[in-house]
Structure 1
Amino acid sequence: MSPSDATYDQTKVFREQLHCRALQFHQCEIGRCLVVKKGRTVCKNRAPWPVSEVDWIDKNGEWGMKRTVPYVNGFNPTITEAIICNNDIKLVTNGDETQDMTYYFTTYATKKRDKSTNETAILAKRYAYHQKQEAKNNNYDEVGRRLITRCATSLNRSQELSAPEVISYLMGWGDRYISHYFVPIYLDGIASVLRQAHPILQTKKYVWRIDQGQVLI
């Protein structure tokens, strides 16, 4: 939709109404917003909201926005038109609300990563222990294999699982929804085939050198 179109204004109003009905209409539901207070079931978001044909504010500081439908929450038409998603706007009129919002934004943007989400720290810590455990092991193939296994185990041990993921595991549905079937590929089998095709790989020690642009063994 381009502003240069002759029907832009009419189309904009139509799309705004369409998006408002689909995205901004509040539906009270048990377990979502309905709570029991003093024996009465009420919406914790205070819906339905007062209706008004215009934005207003009185001498006591009370204010309200234009709302012609009591169950439509306040929204920004430009944001709705641009990203086509639910949004909510609020007029901040006092220092306490400004302070709370500033604190929330700051902690959200600068929050430290939890242990379970900081993969780098987990791997670094495990690698430090791995070096101590394998300090006297001269079998580098075995050391590398153990490092991969230990890193994978450390990540799995610290992983946080959501409730749907746990249910999926318990029901045997797998850990993802996929459109194809896969078969496992085992590293030991691949290594065995390579050793059979290239006997030099069975040698414990061999030297690689570059000679006239070619790799010679």
Structure 2
Amino acid sequence: MKAFISALLGYDPDQKNLEGGILGVVKAYYGCVEAQGRGTLHCHMLIWVEGGLNPNEIKQRALSSDQSDSEFCKRLLAFLDDTISNAIPSEPQSKVEVPSNHHHPCSVHLNQTLSPERQQDLHNLVSKCQSHEHSKTCFKYWPGPPEPKTCRFDLHEDNFRAESSFNSETGEICLRCLDGLVNNFNATIIEAMRCNMDIKFIGSGASAKGILYYITDYITKSQLKTHVAFSMLELAVKKLGEHNPLQDELTVRAEKMLQKCAYAMISQQELSGQQVASYLMDFEDHFTSHSYRNLYWTAFEGFINRQLPSPEYESDTEYEPPFLNELLDDDQENEADGNDLPDEEQEIGVSIDGSGKLVPVGSQLADYHKRGSELDGVCV
């Protein structure tokens, strides 16, 4: 992956490389390594390209009648057609001998750079790695008749679009699709990496939000770390082991049930052989160009909804928005009482320090709410 980032993406942390890589000048990236059901490791990565416009800006320029915006749209579509392919390349007119004719393309490399050999090798590689065949997995979310039976990967032989274009009403980019059963790929990446891949441009339309949400949720989801689970379980066992003569039999049985549930939860944590080997060899499980801090948004969202409920916020009582001075008075009273956060937000969390010991940590919501006056300009 490091070779992919440096050689193919051409990422320069000093931002001095003005030529960039196969996608242009890469501004930032974030990728997470995950194991699939069979244990194979693969990486999901978001890549930000220097000079890239956000979806709203692309939509505005696509719907604009200005001549310069029209030229911009043509250049953007040409770039996408050159970067993203979804059809099996044709074979050379004459028979060409390459290693992938006799072995699986992922297991061999082509040492020649001549055009006919590369064309034959790319044909073999895409045919084996990118061509889709429907299986039970494609329809596992199908509710059954009378609903139509469609592939959940949106791959179907009827999918065809001769050329890329912009939707004149919505500004959405409609990329060409020459073969509905071939997954998107980049020729240079698949030649170098020798494995199946997918590539998407997140640029416009409602689908951009859906793709961004899916990828972000996918690469940021975390699993319960085994050492953290055992540390927490150790603390729980110590608490449960403290004898209390006032406890009745039901309480003791409940504590034992909780202990059994914790053991069962930990026993279900699975690691593939590839993951174990990767960790033992000190390989990274994520790749990033920048440093990030986790933000647990649900706590902030819940606090805001309690202070200023939105129409979508579920509440048993009818809400009347307070005046600003009432909010200020409430804040002053709460600060005086030292009780400006609900009980559930004042709980102390636990984390693991560098030595593996449990240490208490404050909540991000409390840290933000209690920030000093010099940080008044900081906003989440």
Whose relative contact order is higher, 1 or 2, with alpha carbons under 8 Å and at least 6 apart? 2
TM-score in terms of structure 2 length: 0.29
Provide the TM-score with structure 1 as the length reference.
0.47
Structure index of larger Rg: 1
